[in-house]
Structure 1
Amino acid sequence: MTKAAATPGDARPARSRDRARRTSTALRPKRYAGQASRRMGRPGGAVRRRGRRLPPMARDSLLPALLLLHIATTRAPRELPVAVTFTAALALPLVGRRRAPVTVFCAVTAAALVQWLLDVQLPADVALPVALCTVAANSGRRGTLVAAAVVEAGALLACLRWATDGAFPALFVAATAVVVAAAVLGVNTRTTRACLAVLEERAARLEREQDQQARLAVAEERTRITREMHDIVTHNLSVMVALTDAAVHAQHRAPDKATAALLQISRTGRQALTDMRRSLGVLRTDEPDAERHPLPGIAQLEALADQMRAAGLPTHVEVQGGHTHIPATAQLTVYRLVQEALTNTLKHTPAGTPARVRIRCSADSVTVDVTDSGPRPPLPAAARAGHGIAGMRARSAAYGGKVRAGPLPGGGWEVRTRLFLGGEAAHA
C-alpha cells in the first residue's frame, strides 16, 4: 500500500485541516440534535409520526369513527336511527378495505343504492370514492374501469335526485372530478407500489450478484495464489534437490564445487522465500515485499537460466523483439511458463540435457517455445496427475492461448504456446 510523503512545509496546514475537520465533526451531532429537537417540538410532525406508528386497520377506522361522531352530534333525535344505520352501513366496511377491496366496494355500493332509493342524504357518501380508490390500488385496469363506472352512475343518479334547479351541471362536474381523482389516486398508488417492488427486487438481485462476484473473485485469487505457490515451490525445490545431489557427489572429489553448490542452494532457498512472501503479500495489507520486489518478467529469464545451469541443466535463452510494451502480468505469465517447463526438464531428463528457450515478442502477442533434446522416461501416474501442465494451460488460457506439450519427432520435448495481448482467442 503506497504512502503519501508530506513535506515539512505541509505539516502545519495538514494539522490545521485535521483539527478543523475534527472540530466540524464534533459540532455536527449537536446541530443535528437541535434540528431533531425542533422537529420533535412541532405538533404536526408528532401527529404524523403517531399516525405512521398506527396499524393499517386502526388508520382505516378513523374515517368511520369521525363520520359516526358527526352524525351523532349533528342530527335530530328523530333522524338519528336512520342516519346512524346508513352511516354505519356505508363507513364501517372501510375498516376491512385493504384485505377485501372488491367485497368492501360491493357492500358500500349496495348501501348507497338503498340510501338513494329511500331518499336519505348523508356525508357518509364519501365512502364511495374511498372504496373506489382502494379497488383501483389493488385491481387491474378492467376492475378499476368497472368500479369507476359504477360510482359515476351513482353520482349521476344522486345529482338527478338531489340537485337544485340550475345546479345540476356544476354538481355533476364536481362529482365526476371526485370519481376521476379517486381512480387516478388508486392507480398511482398501485403503480408506485409496483415500482417499489421492482426496485427492491433489483436491489436484492444486485446484492446477490455482488456477493457472487465477490465469491468468484476470491476463488480466482485463491486459484492464482495456488498456481503461484505451486510454481515457486516446485521449481525451487527441484533446483535445490539437484544441487544437493551434486554437492553430495562432489564433496570428496571437488570440495570447491560442493561449496559452490551449497551456496547456490542457500541463494535458491532465499529466493523461494522472497517469492513466497511476494505472492502471499496480497493477503496482508501491511506487507511491503510486493513493492520492494517487483514481479519477475522476461528480463529475469536470464537469471532463471543461470539458476538452472547451476543445477545441472544447460539452458540457452533467446528473446526476439522488444518486450517493454508487454504488460507486467503477461510477462509474469511468460516467466512462470518457462520456469515450469524448465523444472519439468530438470526433473525428467538426464543430467546435462541442454534446454533452449525462445521468446518472440510482437505488438499483439508473445510466443513461448521451450525445447530440450533429452529422452523422457515414462511418467508415473502421480506425475501425470500433477498440476504442472494444467497450471500452464490455465495461465495461457487467460491470454487466449493453448499449450502444446509433447515429444518432438527427432527426440526431446517441446512446450509451446502463444499469448495474445489483445485478448483474442486463437489457436497457438
Structure 2
Amino acid sequence: MHRLNAWLRRHPMVVDSAWALVVLLFGLLSDVSEDGAQLWGGIVASLAIAVLMAVRRRTPDLAVAGGVAVGLGQIALNVTPGGSSIGYLVLSYTAAAFGSRWSSRLVVLVGLAAGPLTLWRFDSRPTGPDSPGVWQRVLVAALMSTPFILCWAWGRLTRVRAAYLIELEDRATRLERERDAQAKVAVAAERARIARELHDVVAHNVSVMIVQADGAAYVLDNSPQQAKEALATIAGTGRQALVEMRRLLGVLRTTETAEEYVPQPGVEELPELLEQVRAAGLPVDFATSGEPRELPRGLELTVYRIVQEALTNVRKHGGPGARARVAVDFGDRALEVLVEDDGRGTTGEQLAGGGADGLGHGLIGMRERVGMVSGSLDIGPRPGGGFRIRAVLPLRTSGDRATAPPAARRTT
C-alpha cells in the first residue's frame, strides 16, 4: 500500500485522469437526456472538461484558462450545464493550489461572476408578480458562486500548507548541515587539544629521559651509583609519561573507564615538575607572590603546560650551565607566569622551540593555550642574555566567578 501511494504521488496525472473519467461519465449521463445542439454541446463540454482535469497539475495555468474558455462558451452558446460542471470546481481549486498568481486571481473573478451569469443565462422562469424578487435572485446568485470561492480557498490553504512543509524540510536540512559542521569543528578542536597535550607530555618526559640516559652513559664506568640513580629517574619519568598519556587518551575511550583517570595537572603540581627538571640537571628557582587561590582547572592546566614547555625548551636550547627561574604572581585580576633563563643558546632555536624559523609546535601550542583563556603571551630574548616567556592570564573577580561543579574539575 505504501509503495502504491508513493507511485501515485510520483504520477499525479494517473489520479487526475481517473477522476476525469468519473466526471466525464456523470456529464455524459446528464447529456443523454438532451437532444440536438444541446446534446452535442454538452458532450463537447464534458470531453473538454475531462481533458483539462487530466492535465491540470501538469499545466495548471493552461487548464484554468481552458476551463474559463469552456465555461464562457457554454454561456455564449446557451449550452445547459450538466454533471461535468463539477470539473469547474476542481479547476478553481487547481488555480489556487498550483497555478500562478494571475490564474488564481482570474478564478476569483470568474467564480464571483459565475452565479450571476448562470442565473441570467439559464433561468427560464417567467417574470411577473409571482416571480422571485431582486434580493432573492441576488441570494441565489451568491449561493451559486459560493462553491467556486470555497474551492479556491481550499486550494489556497493547500498551497500555504505545502509551502510550510517545504520550509520545514529546508530548515531541517539546514539544521542537519549546521549540526554536522559543528560536529566537525568540535572534532577538529578536540584533535588539536589532544595534539597539544601529547606534544607537551612527550616532549617534556622524553627530553628528561634523554638527558638522564646520556648522563648515565657518561658516568657508568666511573660512578655506577650515579648511573643507577639516573636509570631510576628514567624509569620514574617513563611511568609518569605513561600515566599522563593514559589519562589523555582516556578521552577517546568509553565513559565506563572515566573513573580510572587522575585530574589534569595544575599549579599545585608545579613543585613536582620542577623537582623532576632539577633531577634532569637543570637548576630552577621557583617563587610565588600574591595570594594563592583556587583557579579554574583549564587555567591551571594552561599554567602547568606553559611552565613545562618553557623548561623543556631551556633544556634543549639553553646550552651548558644554563639556569632557569619560574615566577607565578597571583594578581587581583590576572595571573602572571614568568619563565626565564640565562642560557647562551641561539635566539632562533628558542624562538622556534625546536626549529630555526619560529614555527615550532611547542610555542605555537603555548600561544593557542593562552589565546583560549583570552590571555597575552610575550616571548623573546632576555636583557643580559638568555630567554624569557611571560604569560598574563586574566582572572574572574569573586563577584562574577561561577562555581564549577566537582565533576568539572576532573578530566575524562
Q: TM-score range by the shorter chain?
A: 0.7 to 0.9
Tell me the residue number matched to 1:136. Answer: 96
Partners of 1:345 and 1:409 lie apart in 2 by 16
Q: Name the CA distance, whole Å, in 2 between partners of 1:325 and 1:123.
A: 88
Partner of 2:244: 275
Give the corresponding residue for 2:59. Answer: 100
TM-score by length of structure 1 reads: 0.81
Q: Distance in 2 between matches of 1:115 and 1:49?
A: 42
Per mean C-alpha deviation after superposition, the further-off stretch among 255-264 and 144-153 is 144-153
Aligned partner letter, 2:202: V
Identity %: 37
Does the 8 Å contact 2:115/2:142 carry over to 1? Answer: no
In structure 2, what is the equivalent of residue 69 of structure 1?
25
Aligned pair 1:111/2:85, yes or no? no
Secondary structure in structure 2 of the residue aligned to 1:186? helix
Name the amino acid aligned to 1:127: G
Return the match for 1:416 from 373, 390, 397: 390
- Displacement after TM superposition at 1:278 (Å): 1.1
Distance 1:139 1:61, change over 3 A: closer
Gap regions ≥5 residues in structure 1: 1-45, 424-428
Cα distance change on mapping 1:73 and 1:133 into 2, 3 Å: closer
Which residue in the other structure is 1:315 paired with?
Answer: 284
By how many angstroms is 1:289 displaced? 6.7
Shift of 1:141: 4.5
The structure-2 alpha-carbon separation of the partners of 1:134 and 1:421, relative to structure 1 and needing over 3 Å to count, comes to: farther
Q: 2-side partners of 1:241 and 1:52: how far apart?
A: 70
Counterparts of 1:142 and 1:364 in 2: how far apart (Å)? 68
Give the superposition deviation at 1:256.
2.1
> Aligned residues, how many?
378
Root-mean-square deviation (CA), in Å? Answer: 2.6
In structure 2, relative to structure 1, the CA distance for the partners of 1:286 and 1:180 (3 Å cut) is: closer
Distance 1:140 1:368 in 2: 70
Q: Which among 281, 288, 312 is matched to residue 257 of structure 2?
A: 288
Q: What is the distance in 2 between the residues matched to 1:281 and 1:215?
A: 20
Cα distance change on mapping 1:317 and 1:288 into 2, 3 Å: farther
Note if contact 1:64-1:92 (Cα within 8 Å) is conserved in structure 2: yes
Of 111, 120, 130, which aligns to 1:160? 120
Deviations 1:184-205, CA, capped at 9 Å, x for gaps = 2222222112111111111111
Inter-partner Cα distance in structure 2 for 1:58 and 1:171? 36
TM-score (norm 2): 0.84
Which deviations, in whole Å up to 9, do the C-alpha atoms of 1:194-241 show, x marking residues without a partner?
111111111111111111111111111111111111111111111111
Q: Which has the higher contact order (CA 8 A, sep 6+)?
A: 2
C-alpha spacing 1:95/1:363, structure 2 compared with 1 (3 Å): farther
Q: Structure 2 CA distance, aligned partners of 1:338 and 1:64?
A: 84
Rate the CA distance shift 1:419–1:111 in 2: closer, same or farther, 3 A.
Answer: same
| Alpha-carbon separation, structure 1, partners of 2:218 and 2:259 | 38
Q: Which moved more, 1:208-217 or 1:173-182?
A: 173-182
- Verify the 8 A CA contact 2:264 2:301 in the aligned structure 1: yes
Q: Distance in 1 between matches of 2:41 and 2:258?
A: 91
Q: Distance in 1 between matches of 2:392 and 2:310?
A: 14
Residues 1:392 and 2:349 aligned together: no
1:323–1:361: 8 Å Cα contact kept in structure 2? yes
Aligned partners of 1:260, 1:287: CA distance in 2, in Å? 38
Of 149, 152, 163, the residue aligned with 1:194 is 163
Asked whether 1:90 is paired with 2:49, we answer yes
Q: Secondary structure at the match of 2:326?
A: strand
Find out whether 1:228 has 2:197 as its counterpart.
yes
Contact 2:314–2:341 (CA<8 Å) still a contact in 1?
yes
For structure 1, which segment, 285-294 or 189-198, has the greater mean C-alpha deviation from structure 2 after superposition? 285-294
Q: Find the counterpart in structure 2 of residue 148 from structure 1.
A: 108
Amino acid at match of 1:102: D
| 2:56 maps to amino acid | R
CA deviations on 1:116-174 (whole Å, 9 max, x unpaired) are 12222213222223212212223455542233112322332112223454252232121
SS at 1:403 equivalent: strand
2:24 touches 2:46 (CA, 8 Å); kept in 1?
yes
After superposition, the Cα gap between the structure-2 partners of 1:356 and 1:287, relative to the gap in structure 1 and judged at 3 Å, is farther
SS at match of 2:367: helix
1:297 counterpart = 2:290 = no
Moved more, 239-248 or 124-133: 124-133
Q: Distance in 2 between matches of 1:84 and 1:320?
A: 104
